[in-house]
Structure 1
């Protein structure tokens, strides 16, 4: 099976269809993708769902069933199939094998499949999605905000969702950040790193920046959602936000424009290719990922775009920022996401607080 990118005349961005082994369009998936597009799902989300459903339809082929024929047990086996290194169905090993996908990745794929079945049930093509969920109710002594709007309804939870081990977020030290910046070969590369580290800006938002989004006189970066970018980089949220940055970062942007940027071929995108057949064209995701691989090789520092974003958010929290301010700066849709992700305590945090406690105690006893 294959996921094929297509361009529709009325759409400024590409869509994706699923082809079977004989290169025929899988009609029901195409209708579902159209539904996602019509209901405003982001192009990157549609792309991801297409690849997740490709895996699911490969599994269906292996068990010899159509989507509307599956049972609760089939979906359960699919979870195991996703994690099995052999890809075999109904094969049980005495010695557990190492999973090829993390719990988080499996959950993302299963969520896409559950959404697909919700769509099929609304079309009347499938019955029984209620078996895929369990309902939970809040404790009687707990009332959530706006609880009166849902007090007679239970919350649906995906039964197949795997428990994810809580991991402390990896962050970098100030010295590591400096080392990475020194290892950069150009102002462009330094600017990319600084926007992610100092602004907490996502990689898609960085690559989608236009010069009109950079407010030099007020040291601000505007994060604007656009339906389509040539390099297929998209802002995750449709909400526009403004990120304040330092004068030093804005000076780096100015130097980049003066000394490195070719205005004749660059157009309105901030980040462009410097060499090769794509000279002057907007940078794509893989170019930035290659940059991070080169930096890791030069410095022995494991770094990704999200590690820089995590580092920025963690520094804000540790310096006393309220979670609501961090949420707005990062562009999270819900403050709970910010709290769950970044309000964490590492061993160093605990040691630091204990030292503060000892100092206060000793000062009282003196």
Structure 2
């Protein structure tokens, strides 16, 4: 199985197809990818779905079955295969083995496959498998409870229960050490945008000079159909974020001292190496930068940890979750609540100390 990128003449971004072991196009997946594109799914989402379906077809190939052979039991076998892929099951010992994929990853793959099968069912190419059960929200009443009046809803019984985990964040001193370890103004600006602006890597690399309003200290996150460096904005919705004067001053300083002249584009972040100077910076360059910074500082972090740190600081300082949602570009406020509004042991300790101080006064 192979995921193949294809360039479509009338589109400004690539699409993806799935090839079998004989390098023949798998037609159902091809039609489904076209459906995703027609319904406005982001290119990165389409790419991810194609790789998820590649796993599904690899599983069916190992089992020697096709779409017409799928039953509920095979879907449950697929779930187990995702957690520990293997051709033939051989019991070596009785010691518990760590799953190859975490619950969130398995659920994401399962969602893609379920969506694919639902599409085939709607087009008449596949007979639906019932993977749901009726459930009643006895322990939780949503704000529409007065309308639904406790009616049952459908729940995917194959979906794994995800363990709640606190997001990993950095201390302020660690962030300062990482920024101080940057050797160029470009690198410092890039790190500060992910931390102070809470931007994703794709959003940072998508920035153009026209997106920056230096007079208002604002940055416009502008979705575009295609970026030369392959960067994409996850949510296709424009938003504006405010930043500090210090960050904007660093941006101006970078343009004056490191940015190229007479470039054929206006991407803000460019390659500074002599042989590639001026080319729009790509994802891999950002990952390489972070690896170097980890080595220089001894602080283990990822690009997303900078974003998590910013969001957590906003929540702890008293920001309403709706404001944090808009600043981060989450599609739903529930995502913000589920991800960041969790109290750590230290949060509890700090609040209790404040409570005791209030009693003493």
Instruction: Establish whether TM, by shorter chain, passes 0.5.
Output: yes
CA distance in 2, matches of 1:199, 1:116: 36
C-alpha deviations, 1:3-23, integer Å up to 9, x for none?
Answer: 000000111100000011111
- SS at structure 2 position matched to 1:218: coil
CA distance in 1, matches of 2:215, 2:8: 40
Residue pairs, 1:224-243, within 5 angstroms: 224-243=222-241
Cα distance, 1:73 vs. partner?
Answer: 1.0
- SS at structure 2 position matched to 1:75: helix
Whether 1:214 aligns to 2:212 is: yes
Give unpaired runs (5+ residues) of structure 1.
Answer: none
Residues 139 and 18 (structure 1), Cα distance of their counterparts in 2 relative to 1, 3 Å cut:
same
Whether 1:113 aligns to 2:113 is: yes
Q: Any conservation in 2 of the 1:313–1:326 contact (CA below 8 Å)? A: yes
CA distance in 2, matches of 1:61, 1:143: 43
CA distance in 2, matches of 1:278, 1:160: 48
Whether 1:155 aligns to 2:153 is: yes
Paired position in structure 2 for 1:187: 185
Cα distance, 1:154 vs. partner?
Answer: 4.4
Cα distance, 1:70 vs. partner?
Answer: 0.9
CA distance in 2, matches of 1:266, 1:299: 36
- SS at structure 1 position matched to 2:86: coil
Whether 1:316 aligns to 2:314 is: yes
Cα distance, 1:128 vs. partner?
Answer: 2.9
Paired position in structure 1 for 2:38: 38
Cα distance, 1:147 vs. partner?
Answer: 6.3
CA distance in 2, matches of 1:151, 1:240: 37
Structure 1 window deviating more from structure 2 (260-269 vs 75-84): it is: 260-269
Paired position in structure 2 for 1:247: 245
CA distance in 1, matches of 2:15, 2:251: 34
- SS at structure 1 position matched to 2:276: coil
Q: Any conservation in 1 of the 2:118–2:128 contact (CA below 8 Å)? A: no
Paired position in structure 1 for 2:356: 358
Cα distance, 1:145 vs. partner?
Answer: 3.9
CA distance in 2, matches of 1:186, 1:153: 59
- SS at structure 1 position matched to 2:12: coil
Residue pairs, 1:308-347, within 5 angstroms: 308-347=306-345
Q: Which residue of 285, 288, 291 maps to 1:287? A: 285
Paired position in structure 1 for 2:62: 62
CA distance in 1, matches of 2:15, 2:68: 24
What is the number of equivalent residue pairs in this alignment? 360
CA distance in 1, matches of 2:42, 2:88: 33
Residues 27 and 153 (structure 1), Cα distance of their counterparts in 2 relative to 1, 3 Å cut:
farther
- C-alpha RMSD of the superposition: 1.9
C-alpha deviations, 1:322-348, integer Å up to 9, x for none?
Answer: 111111111111111111111111111
CA distance in 1, matches of 2:146, 2:231: 38
Paired position in structure 2 for 1:142: 141
Residue pairs, 1:19-30, within 5 angstroms: 19-30=19-30
CA distance in 1, matches of 2:146, 2:214: 45
Give unpaired runs (5+ residues) of structure 2.
Answer: none
CA distance in 1, matches of 2:229, 2:245: 28
Cα distance, 1:71 vs. partner?
Answer: 1.1
Cα distance, 1:152 vs. partner?
Answer: 9.2
Paired position in structure 2 for 1:2: 2
CA distance in 1, matches of 2:57, 2:290: 34
